Structure 1
Amino acid sequence: MIRTAIWLLGGLLLGGVIHIVTILALPSLAEDTSWTRIEDYEASNRILILPAVVPGAANPLRLDPDLSYGICRVDLDEGPAYLSGVLPDAFWSVAIYDRSGIVTYSTTNRDGIGQNVDIGIFNADQTRLLAQQQIDIAEGLLVVEAQSDDLLIVVRLSPPHEIMRPRFDAALSQITCGPRAS
């Protein structure tokens, strides 16, 4: 009886471990991820405005139809990346994702930043150089340290009315993204 209980307990524990390992490993084994879908867009070192989501149409990135989206891929191997510009006076958010979909940094206009966005994104080596004052930065630059070099920046704007979307998209297209020209 005790021997059977021990075997049952061992089987349950082994099954639980296998279950947890499988669940944790599946995301890294997936081939069709948001990152691979975004790689198809030409958004390297520039803001790309994503087309508005039409209700009932395919929405592979699962975007909110009420928001305007701009994406920019950066590679910190090329040097620090910067996101700069002025956004409309309405709700906006900026999020920086690594390849696995983990948010490295996120902010909104409700953080007291206002309409001006000026973010510098650095990897650990670049941050060290920054601390040693070997990289010059502008005053007021928000410094973000990323753990990986390949990043995706997503800027979301929320036009209060649909008729304002073209104006918001135009403001979004004026945002600069990528390494600064020397």
Structure 2
Amino acid sequence: MNKILYALLTGLIGAVLLHIIIILGVPLFTGRDAHTRVTAEGAPFAFHQLSAAEDEVGLSSRDPYLRTAVCHFDIGTQPLSLTAAGRVKFWSIAIYDRDANEVFSMNDRTSVAGDLDVLLATPVQVAQLRKTPIAALAQTILVEHRGTTGYAVLRAMVPQPSQEADALAFLEDAECLPFTGR
């Protein structure tokens, strides 16, 4: 009796684990994940503004009070510099790894002087930057990313229709470029 109960319990636990693995693996096999969606927007190392069109993975600019831009990157060879400045009421940025796990986020209230100035680097690159500090990076927020690929989502608030142009200009002027060592 104990052997039958043990076999049933083992089979049930195995079936549950198998179903969980299949459900979590579906986005990887279908190409319907956020990273694939972002890379389809255009070339890496550039912010691409999202439209308000319906999106199957939830990555769109459907909120009437926010404009959104995305940038995908690979920091395997050099860090990534994310910069933006402009007259917007509110902005926020979130950096995600390839699997859509949030690595870092901030907004204009938590930034230095209200401007976006972030340097994203691998742990080895961070160590190299700390060995030889660069004066131009004194106000830059240094973010460590354990992976090498991912994407950044930059949002600008548009509380009034008259501020639409400022938000679009903010996103258009935002930079997502490999760090050159200023």
Q: TM-score range by the shorter chain?
A: 0.7 to 0.9
In structure 1, distance between residues paired with 2:71 and 2:103: 15
In structure 2, distance between residues paired with 1:111 and 1:135: 22
1:45–1:136 distance in 2 versus 1, CA, 3 Å: farther
Q: Does 1:96 align with 2:123?
A: no
Q: Shift in Å at residue 145 of structure 1?
A: 0.8
In structure 2, distance between residues paired with 1:21 and 1:142: 37
In structure 1, distance between residues paired with 2:136 and 2:145: 17
Map of 2:44 onto structure 1: 44
1:87–1:43 distance in 2 versus 1, CA, 3 Å: farther
What is the correspondence of 1:15-164 to structure 2 with a 5 Å cutoff? Answer: 15-51=15-51, 53=52, 57-62=53-58, 63=60, 64-66=62-64, 67-111=66-110, 113-133=112-132, 137-164=136-163
What SS does the aligned partner of 1:111 have? coil
Q: Does 1:175 align with 2:174?
A: yes
In structure 2, distance between residues paired with 1:17 and 1:171: 46
What's the TM-score once normalised by structure 2's chain length?
0.83
1:33–1:24 distance in 2 versus 1, CA, 3 Å: closer
CA offset digits 1:102-141 (Å, max 9, x no partner): 1111112232545211101111221121122176652111
In structure 1, distance between residues paired with 2:170 and 2:17: 50
Q: Which runs of 5+ in 2 are unaligned?
A: none
1:89–1:38 distance in 2 versus 1, CA, 3 Å: closer
Residues 35, 150 of structure 2: 8 Å contact kept: no
- Aligned-pair Cα RMSD in Å: 2.4
In structure 1, distance between residues paired with 2:128 and 2:67: 36
CA offset digits 1:4-46 (Å, max 9, x no partner): 4333323222222322332333343332222222222224222
1:108–1:135 distance in 2 versus 1, CA, 3 Å: same
Q: Shift in Å at residue 172 of structure 1?
A: 1.7
Question: What is the total number of aligned residue pairs between the two structures?
Answer: 178
CA offset digits 1:87-112 (Å, max 9, x no partner): 43422110111111111111122325
Which moved further from structure 2: 71-80 or 152-161?
71-80
1:23–1:58 distance in 2 versus 1, CA, 3 Å: closer
What SS does the aligned partner of 1:58 have? coil
Residues 88, 115 of structure 1: 8 Å contact kept: no
Residues 95, 105 of structure 2: 8 Å contact kept: yes
In structure 2, distance between residues paired with 1:60 and 1:22: 19
In structure 2, distance between residues paired with 1:48 and 1:153: 10
1:61–1:132 distance in 2 versus 1, CA, 3 Å: same
**Identity percentage over the alignment?**
24
What's the TM-score once normalised by structure 1's chain length?
0.83
Output the amino acid matched with 2:54. Answer: A
